[in-house]
Structure 1
Amino acid sequence: QNIGESILYLWVEKIRDVLIQKSQMTEPGPDVKKKTEEEDVECEDDLILACQPESSVKALDFDISETRTEVEVEELPPIDHGIPITDRRSTFQAHLAPVVCPKQVKMVLSKLYENKKIASATHNIYAYRIYCEDKQTFLQDCEDDGETAAGGRLLHLMEILNVKNVMVVVSRWYGGILLGPDRFKHINNCARNILVEKNYTNSPEESSKALGKNKKVRKDKKRNEH
């Protein structure tokens, strides 16, 4: 009987030891717990870096302001239309827009050609002058659109009037009767009238004086050359 009790006691102790060892293996030790806490801390740091409000707002404001500046530069400028001039069934009308870059010139032309009446014009002559402050020079160009020498004459007028950062388009609807040199007079008069109206140059009287002086200077130069 004593031997049986001893064996039973040994078995109970053995089972108890096994259960204790098993419970110790399943419980996380200090190292495991520390590692888990470090992982949590790293995750929190990542979250803080990803959600810094001040840095994000500054970067966003910078991007918005930069985009806004580009939009302002490339924005379609307002287009004004002058009073038409009609002579022998031909009609001339000037259109004016402030421009500060060649891209705006293209935008203005595209917008004008959306108008069916302007798009159907026999000629759409234009010229523009843009002042580059950094280089202190003018970026300028012109287009005849089939009306030979009309674009160059229009640009020359703008040079004489010393206008800048502006574009003028003159539409002509041909009426079937040849006008000869008078067509150039009407083109320039349309352009000058709208430039005066929009305060890009002086009154028509002063502009005429400037034109007269310029012609006189050119004649004097020719005489001196001969």
Structure 2
Amino acid sequence: MAYQDMGDLQSQVDEIEALSSIYGDEWCVIDEASRIFCIKISDSSDHPKWTACLQTILPPDYPSRAPPLYQINAGWLRGPERMELSNSLEEIYLENAGESILYLWVEKIREFLVEKSQSSDLVEESELRKTMVTEEEDVADEGDLLDYSVLKNTEQAHLFVDQLGDEELPEIKHGEPITERRSTFQSHLALVVSPKQVCETPQSSAITSHLAVASTG
């Protein structure tokens, strides 16, 4: 029995030395006598987005007969995500019972953080694309807007023409005919207020024709 305890102790010493060598400053000894350790784990060494701290207590009969006691410290880790990660660590222990498993636990947590980071990046990219599409649609809609000022001006022009159609024709006053030599002249007078009245005056073409004859005579 004593030999078994010494075997577990030696396994723990070897494992702690290996982890300290692999993870450097990320590995922390809280209480060596009580076999309490912790390690900070992140999704990236350069620009970490998600981090967690794994704190472990190694019982005297670890790894031969008991698993490490552990606690994952991460403010964002709650509910289903915490349960999922805990189940993953317990599965690793069951698959490797009697062996040192801290390294496997650390890398499993790191894998979990990387997957979460990639998932959140995809969500952010999707939201960004939606925002860009919405902005492009808004710009396109603005380009399709009609210039109502032009329509208003056109409408006013039509109204002006319609109003002219309702105008009364001016009264034409005729002067006394004057005969000189072989030509006869007669004056015609009408008060007009628009070009359309000139065109629609019944005798306007005749007046113009008479003036032309008079000028050539």
Taking structure 1 as the reference length, the TM-score comes to 0.32
Which structure has more RCO (C-alpha within 8 Å, separation ≥ 6)? 1
Max Rg structure: 2
